[in-house]
Chains A and B, each alone.
Chain A
């Protein structure tokens, strides 16, 4: 493990940069214990939006959030890469971080990366948590997603908009557009039946990008899926309601019923 370490906040969240192949991936960690949980961000954004959940969840377990190549504080990527390459980088990062098996917590497009990892690298994933899984096949066009995104905006914290702007600036518009294109091209519903690990699907009950029917469909397609709905939250539930999401994830990982 190489790289610099710095305290990100007063809540013992530690930054850890790792060399993974030609990339230098930035990640943040809190807590101890196995299995570790690793948060995977959505299209065009970064770990910034996950830090509130890491702070909550890290009180009881080891939690990471990692910036995928080309996003946030990660470095070493000069071009755009597709979803399979992002998955490969994530799995390589797990090895570099010495996490033999991890619970992957995807958010939005990060769910598609996490599902891809669970299907292609089943021995590296112990559990999945899919928060606001994209993309609903009933809205799989750029224009429909844009309309849903606008309708969803009223349910998000205004503070998150500033983080999103910083993320888009870090990634650059070309990579942001490429990530959205990847999200639309990937047919996650074809992969879900092959996810063998226990999976928790989390949806904010105001999420306009992920309708209830799609969240239920995702859960149904997962052989070991379970759905939890968080009241009063939109698409980015972990940022809006980190303590509630941490609670349902803790219950899930502890094998407790809702």
Chain B
């Protein structure tokens, strides 16, 4: 099975891979990088028309889009790890890079890599698998339905661990007809080795991106765990034991249940989407030792921890270049624009998702820094009134802290969080911002060291501590 058909195109890892690889090729990301820029006006109009459809139809269209790109149940065993790795590495322009990142997905890390002119190889990919006959609120049912394809996948790929994930809160629409298989490489695949040997300059630096976020899981097999819920608006406690917010959410979506009943967890593992599985580190360290590369570990406890650090780095970098430091671009989930970030002289702040937690992180950042004149926010719409969703008014209040301009980019506040046109319009509107700057030369590692120096709790270690 072709890797590009197996991997979800609408996922954080894939979105970040597209954003960074296109940036390194000198390109921006119209239409989330999935369609040519020329069709952007047409797609904007099409999605705008979808926005005007009744809510039920819109939700079904969103769920269908997920189902349509999922792998048929009986073809999961045909997926091959090396082909996945080759597909990832094939995104990047073939040339020498001073550094290569490997590991966790993270939007702030994408901007750090962009500043260094470095590619990133994800450890985790999402393979969506079609599923029938299981209700969305039936967490155990999803586990049972996934057992057979999961075992087929693992039999064929001994270097992969499978984190079978079911988030009946934020993925409520998507899980209508599909199961989330997140695979993590335990060993360095050959295509990654080849890419590193070809692309990493002699004496270059291998940066291991180590997000230490963990989540309670149920172990099914040696390389197979099941994760109920995910990082976002609801707590672990709510996923496993319910609560008033869960009961209200389920009632709102017509479920007869009061709470979800996932299988009891028996251990903690790296979180399915963001967490780094440390087994991969041995191969990376050994290869770096063989090739004479330096190794650095970019380590942080939660994905958003890196966002203010990278934002500060960009602000200092702009100041060093004599550029204004008064523009902030807040990105959300897979809505990333490293090319336009630098082109518009914007400081990037990446929000993991559209939740109250991310809202609080942005608010804390704004409280801690000199005010910005311009604040733009690209807000991801996932179609669900999920638990912990920050309301649009709360986001508007934060962007209005821009002293001159505060704006939701491409967002229709009336339709959020079912504003699917914003997925196209965010780029479209961002590309119209005037007063742009030439793209800078990449930063050197020594400059990154200097810019990160003095940051309390710098998540940037020269060796694997």
Contacts and interface: CB of A to CB of B under 8 A. Distances in A.
A213 B433 CA distance: 5
Interface size class on chain A is 10 to 19
A87 interface: no
Interface of A: 211-214, 216-217, 219-220, 222, 225-227, 229, 231, 257-258
A219 B405 contact: yes
Contacts of B405: 216, 219-220, 226-227
Top 7 closest pairs, chain A to chain B, by CB:
A213-B432, A258-B400, A217-B434, A227-B405, A213-B434, A219-B404, A225-B404
A216 B435 CA distance: 10
Given A216-B374, A220-B373, A220-B374, A211 B432 contact: yes
Contacts of A226: 403-405
Interface in B433-457: 433-435
A222 B405 CA distance: 12
A226 B407 CA distance: 12
Contacts of A220: 373-374, 404-405, 435
Contact of B433 (A216, A229, A231, A258): A216
Nearest to A215: B405
Nearest to A223: B404
A226 B372 CA distance: 12
A144 to B, nearest CB: 16
B404 A214 contact: no
Main secondary structure of the interface of A (DSSP, over half): mixed
A211 B431 CA distance: 13
Interface residues of B, number: 15
Interface string B341-376: 000000000000000000000000000000001100
Contacts of B433: 213, 216
B405 to A, nearest CB: 5
A203 to B, nearest CB: 11
A231 B406 CA distance: 14
Contacts of B403: 226
Contacts of A216: 374, 405, 407, 433-434
B268 interface: no
13 contacts: A211-B432, A212-B429, A216-B374, A216-B405, A220-B373, A220-B405, A226-B403, A226-B404, A227-B404, A227-B406, A257-B400, A258-B400, A258-B406
Given A220-B374, A227-B406, 18 more contacts: A212-B432, A213-B433, A214-B434, A216-B405, A216-B407, A217-B434, A217-B435, A220-B373, A220-B404, A220-B405, A222-B404, A225-B404, A226-B403, A227-B405, A227-B407, A257-B400, A258-B400, A258-B406
A256 to B, nearest CB: 11
A254 to B, nearest CB: 15
A12 B368 CA distance: 49
A169 B214 CA distance: 73
Nearest to B409: A212
A220 B401 CA distance: 15
Contacts of B434: 213-214, 216-217
Interface string B407-439: 100000100000000000000010011110000
A231 B374 CA distance: 19
Nearest to A138: B434
A220 B413 CA distance: 24
A219 B432 CA distance: 15
